[in-house]
Amino acid sequence: MRRAHILGAAAAVLISVQLCITEATAQERESGAAQGQSPAVSLTTETAPALARAHRVRGLEAYRAGRFAEAAREFEQAVGAWPDYAEGYNDLAMARTSLGEFGAAIELLERAVRLQPRRAEMRYNLGTAYYRAGRLEESVAALGEAVRLQPRHPWAHSNLGVSLYELGRYEEAARAFGRAAELQPQRAETHYLLALCHEQQGRRAQAVESLEEAVRLRPRFAEAHNSLGVAYFGDGRHGEATDAFRRAVEIKPDYAAARYNLGAAHLAREARDAAVEQYRALKVLDAGLAEKLYNGLFRGRLLDVSGRGPE
pLDDT one-digit tens code per residue, 279-292: 999 999 999 999 99
As a whole number of angstroms, the distance between CA 45 and CA 136 comes to 46
The reported pLDDT for the residue numbered 298 is: 78
The reported pLDDT for the residue numbered 39 is: 42
The reported pLDDT for the residue numbered 296 is: 83
pLDDT one-digit tens code per residue, 202-219: 999 999 999 999 999 999
The reported pLDDT for the residue numbered 12 is: 39
Q: Which of 33, 104, 38 is nearest to 56 (CA)?
A: 33
Under the banding of pLDDT at 50, 70 and 90, the label for residue 2 is very low
pTM of this structure: 0.82
Q: What Rg, from alpha-carbon coordinates, does the chain have?
A: 24
Burial 245-271 (b: 16+ CB within 10 A, else e): bbbbbebbeebbbbbbbbbbbbbbeee
Residue 33 pLDDT greater than 50, yes or no: no
The reported pLDDT for the residue numbered 8 is: 29
Q: Would you tell me how many other CB atoms lie within 10 Å of the CB of residue 300?
A: 7
Mean pLDDT of 104-119: 96
DSSP 83: T
The reported pLDDT for the residue numbered 63 is: 95
Taking the C-alpha atoms of 84, 78, 146 and 14 in order, what is their torsion angle to the nearest 10 degrees?
-150
Domains and CATH numbers, the chain: 23-118 (1.25.40.10), 224-311 (1.25.40.10)
